[in-house]
Amino acid sequence: MREADAFLQTLASVPPDAVTACRGWTAHELIAHLASGADALADQVEAHLQGRPVPEFGAWQVREPPYRAMDDGALRRRLEAAEARMTTAFRAALTIDPDLTVPAVGWGLPIVELDTHLRQEFAIHRWDLTGDDEIGVELLGRPALLSHSVRLLSDSLLRVGLERDPEPGEPLTVRLRCAGAPDLLLAVRDGVGALSLETPADCADVVESDPAARLLLLWGRRPADSRRVRSNLSPQRLARVQTILAGY
């Protein structure tokens, strides 16, 4: 199942005023976030394909308020239409050139990476609505989503957490481990953090989980079922890791 399809199907059982796992957001605000982003990316890619000047993507503080002001039923229809238009534009662009990168589109990422990024947004924000379930375990456990986050979003994912690091001068090396998969290595030195996917190796500090739970941890979320994540870290070090992995 596509991540977007799973999200849209889930919305049928979620009222607009449901409080989500995104701090301060109800389902309505979360839908506005996704719809405004999908519309903006569709506008940009369509303009590029048609040889027109590419409009600015714009900051979310500017894009989202008009969507939040919509009637909820209209907003949900807008999300479905925006996602379909964005996906069609992505596919058309990738058919022309699988490696296409347009600096003015999105954040200057290759189109294929923008597609993966939106897949990830729909998967994670679906969890924000529903919490743990079997569909989420399958969607969030897809290796492409983790590798995208590590490869292209490490600085963004660590920025907020490093600003709150309770021991900024202390080095830290932790491996977030899943059976049968590369380790996700978190390393902090002199206030600078890095994420990488590495071959499993001995390490004093290890956090083990299933793949879906690991992606949630990376994005500052925690599965409701505590048995899905296991740690051999001291309470102080575990709390530090949880602070640094704050998401954004």
What pLDDT digit, counting tens, does each position of 149-160 carry? 999 999 999 999
DSSP 19: B
pLDDT computed for residue 138 by the predictor: 98
Separation of first and last alpha carbons in the chain = 26
Alpha carbons 163 and 134: distance in angstroms, whole number: 34
Phi and psi torsions of 218, nearest 5°: -60, -35
Check the CA dihedral 21-2-70-32 and report its sign: positive
pLDDT surpassing 90 at residue 67:
yes
> For 204-222, how does the pLDDT look when each residue is reduced to its tens digit (9 = 90+)?
999 999 999 999 999 999 9
- Please tell me the pTM assigned to this model: 0.94
Measure CA 163 to chain center.
20
Strands 183-189 and 172-177: antiparallel
In the chain the domains, ranked by start, together with CATH numbers, are 3-140 (1.20.120.450), 152-244 (3.30.1050.10)
Asked whether the predicted pLDDT for residue 60 surpasses 90, the reply is no
pLDDT tens, residue by residue, 26-46: 999 999 999 999 999 999 999
| pLDDT of 125 | 98
Q: How confident is the model at residue 248 (pLDDT cuts 50, 70, 90)?
A: confident
Q: State percent of the chain over pLDDT 70.
A: 100
Alpha helix (H) residue ranges in the chain: 3-11, 27-49, 60-68, 72-96, 111-130, 134-140, 143-152, 154-163, 211-218, 235-244
